[in-house]
Chains A and B, each alone.
Chain A
Amino acid sequence: MNALHPDADRIGRIRRRFQTGPAFVSVERARYYTAAWRASEGLGLAPEIRVALAMRAVYERMTHHLDPDDRLAGAWTEHALGVPIDIERGVFNAVFDAELTRPRMLKARALTAARAAGYLARRGGLVTFLKNQRIARAHGGAPLSMALDPMPARRVNPFQIRPADRRELLGELLPYWRGRTLVDRLDGALADSGLRSRDMHDFVLAVAGGASRQVEMVSTCATVATLQGHVILDHDKLLRLGLLGMRDEVRARAAEAEGAERTFLESLEIALDGVIVFARRLLARIDRELAVAPLRRRPVLSALRDRCARVPLHPPTTFAEALQSLWTVKTAVELAHPVNLHAFGRLDQILGPYYDADLAAGRIDPEAATALLEELLLKIMAQNLRPESNLLANFYHRFLGSSPVTVGGVTPDGADGTNALTYLFVEAAARSRAVTNLSVRVHPGTPDALLEAVAGHVAAGASCFSLYNDAVVAEAMERRGFAPADARDYALMGCVEATSPGRTGGMSANALLLSRLLDITLRDGDSALLAGTVRGEAPPLGAPPATFEALLDALVARAAYFIDKIVRASNLRDRLYAEHLPAPFISAFMEGPLERGRDVTRGGARYDLSGISIINAVANLVDALHVIRALVYERRVCTVPEVLAAVDADFQGRAGEAILAEIHAVPGRWGNGDPAVDALAHDVVARLAAEVHRHRSFRGGPFVVYAISMITHTIDGRLSVATPDGRRAATPFAASCNPANVEREGVTAALRSVAALPFEEMLGAAVNLKLHPSAVGATPAARAKWVALIRAYFALGGAQLQPTGVSAETLRAAQRDPDAYRDLVVKVGGYSSYFVDLGPEVQDEIIARTEHGASGV
């Protein structure tokens, strides 16, 4: 911390406002979008034209918020901290509908409960349900919050809304969109698709309550996300041409095109028009402020005005202009595609030349540049909040520190790209205490000084850093069809997912839930949940596997069955987007759509990605297989049905306790560097990945593998029965790619196990490493050893590492006295968050993670 730098107070005020100021739901976007959408009804316009017109209408009428502390202008709502509503996608519509007032909340909960009770009564599962609720409470898990605090009054992630806005939203806007949103269409299409088993279909209808629709279930072990995003825009082109230049280019192409292509190019022109309107109205807002501002504010405001008068319409001439250009466009496009989900990419590479030129000309100094970057990181964070349902409140928080900024690493031609800005970003990430992920790419030529700087900040408690191994990530990209130079130019999006920035479409995120997959395999098609057993999730195969190899084969066959369902559901969703909600505001800033005359949702981008995340979790699955191999197939201590009986009893009773004792006595859990278990982990993941890689999306891009659990390992764990690795019912799964807190052999062994996974077959994985601060960087010598630890882990084939350098004592102290630890940042799944913002179950899960120290006296 540098309390002396002149912007420290200003940055502190911005941070405080975001951390503790009220967050508002803004209806402006929903209001203007809906009006324009209705106005274009029945005119026979193509959907991409209607989308572009509707968003342009938003830009034409929205209110711009301007803050005295702004040095980067532009917010996506009229509030200092607000969230717009993506009403046409409808991801959160049901949450607003049910949870803004107490009476509506009571009604919605009563309906949900009645539906669930009806389902349970029909299924005769009430006894099991009640038994499982007892089991869950025995592990201290608060039941899914049925708390009846409406959104403005709840403790975790509250949102305010103006009364008139609330009336408009509930009375006019939401009713119009009912049945018309993308999510509603997807609900209907999935129900009609036959992808869900009959029992699953009933189950989904029973549990679908007031929760958001960020995720839709296809099976108990398979989900598809509803989001639209996960891209990095072509920022180089924006800076090179400016919006006006880009629009000229589109116009020239459109003049030569015809038919559907011409229509599409027109949608790009309207989209660029819209962003230009957004920028011009932002400038007008500053002008109005300037007209009434006191004298002392004028220098700052007129500098801001000058920057916004040039960019993003024209190419920037300075570092500050370049940053403002990116920020204006990011804010506008983010508003077209809330929430989160597009990232900035390699900002040190993009902005480096502007910074160098300014520095050489004496127009900027490192302090001023760092302050701008701090503001940027905080503002990225402020566009990364979600109006999630109260049902998940125990697991949620205000900000997700995803939407990463990528720095460092090799250039497309393979040279070291580390530059002066790389260091300033590292410094800014630590100083700002924003939760925004700073993704630091590492290769053998990365200077030790950069990693030592990261080590120092991690030891001081900054947990917003993630480290990426260029060699492995670029190799993984090439295997999925990226040209070598484009692979080397990778950047991170979402939380930890690699993409080639500015040229890769990709709006598909899906998940395969591994412990459920094993459960279904062991139960020959049925799937046990704490809420009851869903029958016939997969066709029965009959005879139980006679050997461990046969069990593995069965698991992989089951995986193939569900991956096929996921792919079909993913394509179903993406076709709905292509048909009903194309993305001209992303297509306009992407390499490919212009050249191919095709929207990014229809495969217009140069590359395209669809993904399946393998979660909940590699560690639990591998440990369970390892245990079953030892107990059932090698030592023949028990049978699969006996293991399942113990699992169903949550290892209680004499038989359950006996089996749990046997399970705990099996040595060599994954995470202890045991070569045989590490090989099992490698083989299982490689075989699952191969099943995913067989598929291509309807846009023509590959399906790729991720291993990133966000907070689902806690939520899903809460809903899950025990697992054969000894994990008790209703307790968390391992996070992302982490071992299941069974590491006893120290940090090097844990990292050897993790590095044994086939990361060259994945495009994104999160590995949390919780280190006691003294093990990271108490002294320069300690920092050097930590740097060597990272380099060795990467040399072994590790792809990613996100260190948290906070001790368990500190985390417990923060639980007791949240106000004193307001700035404490921790890693959750693949992203960072303020610890004191997190729900209690997620806090406990983080504290329970294995903490690695340095050994020796």
Chain B
Amino acid sequence: MGVVYDVQGYAVHDGPGIRTAVFLKGCPLRCWWCHNPESQRPEPERDARGDWIGEDTDAASLVGRVARDLPFFTASGGGVTFTGGEPTAQLPFLLEALDRARAAGLHTALETCGAFGSRWLAPLAARVDLFLFDLKHVDADAHRRGTGVGNRRILANLTWLLRELAPGRVTPRVPVIPGFNADPASRRAIAGFLRDRGYRGPVHLMPYHGLARDKYARVGRAQDFRAAPALTAADRLAIAADLDGGGLSPVWGGA
């Protein structure tokens, strides 16, 4: 059994084609800008109105429900994307769901923060068609300040995946957060990290938005919400320029 807090069809920004996004609850990181604060705690919880967030779900019925959209996946080259929260926070459940998804003929994508033990790399690589891998910061201290945890394991996992998997199976995603990693030095370091490991391809840039205030209030954590300045069009241009070239091509908002 796993804890799933949302299943959304016609997800068009989380991998190729038309996808169903499955949101798993629980995350080892505590990013101060988090857009989905209701996803952070591992267990089901009640929101301010008393409604449940998260539900114990078995992998078979979850995948059975997702697979009803197979005709839409087939027509568009889509499939299922596991996201969260951090899906690898529920690893046995995630692996079973991935197995069942593949058995049902679904293309599988995993959106991950990368903070999981290296022994899971090979099992995941055997079951995930596409990794959407968050690369938040290359600098360990900055990463710890922004997310509450260090990035050694994350960078090692990304390095392994980039080395071991065929091109096209890993797409880096960078949440662009003013006050965290939107400065020239940080973003150039990210670009350099990717180029140094031979990555060539799209880099998804996920722009910060300040729309999560209500979500924090919903889970009774209004005090935890921290607003950052919004990105201007000029910011976006400059940021994209730093992540362009040398084999990298920036894509705002994912695809």
Mark A residues whose CB is within 8 Å of B: 673, 675, 745-749, 752, 775, 781-782, 784-785, 788-789, 791-793, 795-796, 852-857
Residue contact A792 to B13, C-beta cutoff 8 Å: no
Residue contact B72 to A852, C-beta cutoff 8 Å: no
B254 within 8 A of partner (CB): yes
Known pairs A746-B9, A785-B17, A792-B75 / 9 extra A-B pairs, C-beta < 8 Å: A749-B9, A781-B255, A788-B77, A789-B18, A789-B75, A791-B75, A792-B71, A796-B71, A856-B14
Closest residue of B by beta carbon distance from A790: B75
Give complex CA distance A456, B17 in Å.
18
- Known interface pairs A673-B68, A748-B18, A749-B68; A856-B12 also in contact (CB < 8 Å): yes
Question: Which of B19, B21, B68 has most chain A Cβ within 10 Å?
Answer: B68
19 A-B residue pairs with Cβ-Cβ distance under 8 Å, sorted by A, are A745-B7, A746-B9, A748-B9, A748-B72, A775-B12, A781-B255, A785-B18, A785-B76, A788-B72, A789-B10, A789-B72, A791-B75, A793-B72, A795-B75, A855-B10, A856-B8, A856-B11, A856-B19, A857-B13
Shortest B240–chain A CB gap in Å is 15
Question: Cβ of A795: which chain B residues have Cβ within 8 Å of it?
Answer: 71, 75
Residue contact A745 to B75, C-beta cutoff 8 Å: no
B188 within 8 A of partner (CB): no
Partner of A788, one of B20, B68, B76, B254: B76
Question: Cβ of B14: which chain A residues have Cβ within 8 Å of it?
Answer: 856-857
Partner of B10, one of A675, A781, A796, A852: A852
Question: Cβ of B10: which chain A residues have Cβ within 8 Å of it?
Answer: 746-748, 775, 789, 852-855
| Majority SS at the chain A contact face | helix
Question: Cβ of B215: which chain A residues have Cβ within 8 Å of it?
Answer: none
Question: Cβ of A856: which chain B residues have Cβ within 8 Å of it?
Answer: 8, 11-14, 19, 21, 81, 254
Residue contact B35 to A792, C-beta cutoff 8 Å: no
Residue contact A855 to B21, C-beta cutoff 8 Å: yes
Partner of A748, one of B69, B77, B254, B255: B69
Give complex CA distance A749, B69 in Å.
7
Shortest A728–chain B CB gap in Å is 23
Closest residue of B by beta carbon distance from A784: B76
Give complex CA distance A701, B249 in Å.
62
Question: Cβ of B253: which chain A residues have Cβ within 8 Å of it?
Answer: 857
B61 within 8 A of partner (CB): no
B206 within 8 A of partner (CB): yes
Question: Cβ of B72: which chain A residues have Cβ within 8 Å of it?
Answer: 748, 788-789, 792-793
Shortest A146–chain B CB gap in Å is 42
Shortest B207–chain A CB gap in Å is 9
Shortest B254–chain A CB gap in Å is 7
Within 8 A of A (CB), among B1-40: 7-14, 17-21, 35
Query: Please, what's the 1-or-0 string for B65-81, where 1 marks a CB less than 8 Å from any CB in chain A?
Result: 00011011011111001
Give complex CA distance A745, B20 in Å.
11
Mark B residues whose CB is within 8 Å of A: 7-14, 17-21, 35, 68-69, 71-72, 74-78, 81, 206, 253-255
Residue contact A854 to B13, C-beta cutoff 8 Å: yes
Partner of A789, one of B8, B11, B76, B77: B76
Closest residue of A by beta carbon distance from B209: A857
Give complex CA distance A257, B19 in Å.
67
Closest residue of A by beta carbon distance from B207: A857
Question: Cβ of A746: which chain B residues have Cβ within 8 Å of it?
Answer: 8-10
Closest residue of B by beta carbon distance from A779: B255
Residue contact B9 to A855, C-beta cutoff 8 Å: yes
Give complex CA distance A745, B11 in Å.
12
Give complex CA distance A796, B71 in Å.
7
Partner of B11, one of A791, A793, A852, A855: A855
Partner of A854, one of B11, B20, B68: B11
Question: Cβ of A857: which chain B residues have Cβ within 8 Å of it?
Answer: 13-14, 35, 206, 253-254
Residue contact B76 to A747, C-beta cutoff 8 Å: no
Closest residue of A by beta carbon distance from B77: A788
Give complex CA distance A853, B13 in Å.
12
Give complex CA distance A738, B77 in Å.
27
Question: Cβ of B17: which chain A residues have Cβ within 8 Å of it?
Answer: 785, 788
Shortest A166–chain B CB gap in Å is 55
Question: Which of A673, A852, A855 has most chain B Cβ within 10 Å?
Answer: A855
Residue contact B69 to A785, C-beta cutoff 8 Å: no
Closest residue of A by beta carbon distance from B6: A855
Question: Cβ of B71: which chain A residues have Cβ within 8 Å of it?
Answer: 792, 795-796
Closest residue of B by beta carbon distance from A755: B71
Give complex CA distance A854, B18 in Å.
10
Question: Cβ of B11: which chain A residues have Cβ within 8 Å of it?
Answer: 854-856
Give complex CA distance A853, B69 in Å.
16
Name the 5 nearest CB pairs between A and B, nearest first.
A788-B76, A746-B9, A855-B8, A856-B11, A792-B75
Residue contact A792 to B9, C-beta cutoff 8 Å: no
Shortest A91–chain B CB gap in Å is 43
Give complex CA distance A40, B75 in Å.
64
Question: Cβ of B20: which chain A residues have Cβ within 8 Å of it?
Answer: 748
Question: Cβ of A781: which chain B residues have Cβ within 8 Å of it?
Answer: 12, 255
Question: Cβ of A852: which chain B residues have Cβ within 8 Å of it?
Answer: 10
Question: Cβ of B69: which chain A residues have Cβ within 8 Å of it?
Answer: 748-749, 752
Shortest A437–chain B CB gap in Å is 25
Shortest B27–chain A CB gap in Å is 15
Give complex CA distance A785, B21 in Å.
15
Shortest B20–chain A CB gap in Å is 8
Give complex CA distance A749, B118 in Å.
37
Give complex CA distance A855, B74 in Å.
18
Residue contact A854 to B76, C-beta cutoff 8 Å: no
Closest residue of A by beta carbon distance from B211: A857
Shortest A797–chain B CB gap in Å is 10
Closest residue of B by beta carbon distance from A774: B12
Shortest A219–chain B CB gap in Å is 39
Residue contact B12 to A752, C-beta cutoff 8 Å: no
Closest residue of A by beta carbon distance from B9: A746
Give complex CA distance A58, B88 in Å.
79
Residue contact B12 to A782, C-beta cutoff 8 Å: yes
Residue contact A792 to B12, C-beta cutoff 8 Å: no
- Known interface pairs A746-B10, A854-B10; A792-B74 also in contact (CB < 8 Å): yes
Question: Which of A748, A781, A793, A853 has most chain B Cβ within 10 Å?
Answer: A748
Residue contact A752 to B75, C-beta cutoff 8 Å: no
Question: Cβ of B21: which chain A residues have Cβ within 8 Å of it?
Answer: 855-856
Closest residue of B by beta carbon distance from A748: B9
Give complex CA distance A675, B61 in Å.
13
Give complex CA distance A745, B69 in Å.
11
- Known interface pairs A789-B76, A792-B76, A857-B206; A745-B9 also in contact (CB < 8 Å): yes
Give complex CA distance A752, B20 in Å.
14
Question: Cβ of A749: which chain B residues have Cβ within 8 Å of it?
Answer: 9, 68-69
Shortest A853–chain B CB gap in Å is 8
Give complex CA distance A580, B172 in Å.
76
Closest residue of A by beta carbon distance from B14: A856
Residue contact B9 to A788, C-beta cutoff 8 Å: no
Closest residue of A by beta carbon distance from B69: A748
Give complex CA distance A788, B75 in Å.
5
Give complex CA distance A789, B78 in Å.
11
Closest residue of B by beta carbon distance from A854: B12
Give complex CA distance A852, B12 in Å.
13
Shortest A739–chain B CB gap in Å is 14
Question: Cβ of B75: which chain A residues have Cβ within 8 Å of it?
Answer: 788-789, 791-792, 795
Question: Cβ of A673: which chain B residues have Cβ within 8 Å of it?
Answer: 68
Question: Cβ of B81: which chain A residues have Cβ within 8 Å of it?
Answer: 856
Question: Cβ of A775: which chain B residues have Cβ within 8 Å of it?
Answer: 10, 12
Shortest B176–chain A CB gap in Å is 12
Residue contact B8 to A752, C-beta cutoff 8 Å: no
Give complex CA distance A785, B20 in Å.
13
Shortest A552–chain B CB gap in Å is 25
Give complex CA distance A313, B105 in Å.
62
Give complex CA distance A792, B75 in Å.
6
Question: Cβ of B18: which chain A residues have Cβ within 8 Å of it?
Answer: 748, 785, 788-789, 792
Shortest A433–chain B CB gap in Å is 28
Question: Cβ of B77: which chain A residues have Cβ within 8 Å of it?
Answer: 788
Shortest A339–chain B CB gap in Å is 40
